[in-house]
Structure 1
Amino acid sequence: MADKVTVNFGNILYAEDDQLYQITTPLILSRIGFTVKVVGNGKLAVEEFSSDSNYSSVLLDNQMPIMTGIEAARRILEKKTVDIVLFTSDEKHTVSEAVDELGIRYLKKPGTEMGFKILYASLLTKK
Structure 2
Amino acid sequence: MASPSQNFASKLTALVVDDDAMTRRIHQMTLSNLGVNNTCVKNGKEAVEIHQYGKKFDLILMDKDMPEMNGTEATKQLRLMGISSTIVGVSSHSMEEKEIVVKFMEAGLDEYLEKPLDKAKLNSILHAVEKIKEKENSIPHKIE
TM-score normalised per structure 2 = 0.77
Which residue of structure 2 lines up, in the alignment, with residue 74 of structure 1?
Answer: 76
Deviations 1:19-41 (A, max 9, x none): 11121110001111211111111
Query: Partner of 1:13: helix, strand, or coil?
Result: strand
CA RMSD of aligned residues (A): 1.9
The match for 1:121 among 121, 124, 127 is: 127
The match for 1:96 among 75, 92, 102 is: 102
Q: Gaps (5+ residues) in structure 1?
A: none
> What amino acid is the match of 1:118?
S
> What amino acid is the match of 1:34?
V
CA distance in 1, matches of 2:72, 2:26: 22
What displacement does 1:13 show? 1.3
Which residue of structure 2 lines up, in the alignment, with residue 87 of structure 1?
Answer: 90
CA distance in 2, matches of 1:109, 1:83: 18
What displacement does 1:101 show? 5.4
CA distance in 2, matches of 1:119, 1:65: 26
Query: Partner of 2:56: helix, strand, or coil?
Result: coil
What displacement does 1:6 show? 7.8
Give the structure with the larger helix fraction. Answer: 1
Moved over 6 A (4+): none
Q: Give % identity.
A: 24
Select the structure of larger CA radius of gyration. 2
Deviations 1:42-68 (A, max 9, x none): 101100111123211211111100111
TM-score normalised per structure 1 = 0.87
Q: Gaps (5+ residues) in structure 2?
A: 1-6, 136-144
Query: Partner of 1:77: helix, strand, or coil?
Result: helix
1:110 and 2:116 aligned: yes
Q: 1:16-55, aligned counterparts within 5 Å?
A: 16-55=18-57
Aligned residues: 123
